[in-house]
Amino acid sequence: MQKQINTNYLAGWLIMVQVFIMVSVIQWIKNAQLYWGLLDEKDKLITALGNNADKSFYISFVYYEFISSVVVCLAMLVSFTMFFKKSRHFPMILIITVILEVAAESISVFVFGSISGYMDQLVQRLVMGVIISICIVVYLIKSERVKLTFVR
């Protein structure tokens, strides 16, 4: 006898996908707030850096982090909305969003990591992001519940 999956509820492992999206939104909002604060203090940063050759590169890093935080956060919020609407496009949109998130973290590490001052945290976030993203993508592709709930 085959087990029936009730697609009227967003239950099962889909709850973990929901938690992932909510935690990601919170993380990216915190990141955007941090870099927004640094943008407000940009003049003080420039003064503090003095004649440092990396001054413009550092300011570019702050702008990049703020913009990427806002973009990924908005993409996660779109995914979250599509999740509750049970949109048939949700799995693909979340996969694209997760890839965007990993790409944003990768650029932070490989382009700006040397000047950030906290390379270890950037690498740790990237590695954890890749591992979690792989799990989410595999689940979205392989799960029978996802196919029945969203793809139909």
Q: Is 143 left (phi over 0), alpha (psi -120 to 50) or beta?
A: beta
Share of the chain above pLDDT 90, in %: 39
Listed by start position, the domains of the chain span: 14-151
Tell me the pLDDT band of 38, cut-offs 50, 70 and 90.
confident
Residues 95-132 have pLDDT tens digits of 999 999 999 999 988 888 777 677 888 889 899 999 99
- pTM reported for the whole predicted model: 0.81
Q: Which amino acid is at 120?
A: D
DSSP string, 40-74: HTHHHHHHHHTT-TTHHHHHHHHHHHHHHHHHHHH
* pLDDT of the residue at 1: 52
- Per-residue b/e over 45-82, b at no fewer than 16 CB within 10 Å? eeeeeeeeeeeeebbebbebbbebbbbbbebbbebbeb
Let me know how long the chain is. 152
Give 69's contacts (C-beta < 8 A, 6+ positions apart): 28, 29, 31, 32, 35
At 137, list the tokens.
């993508």
State the average pLDDT for the chain.
Answer: 84
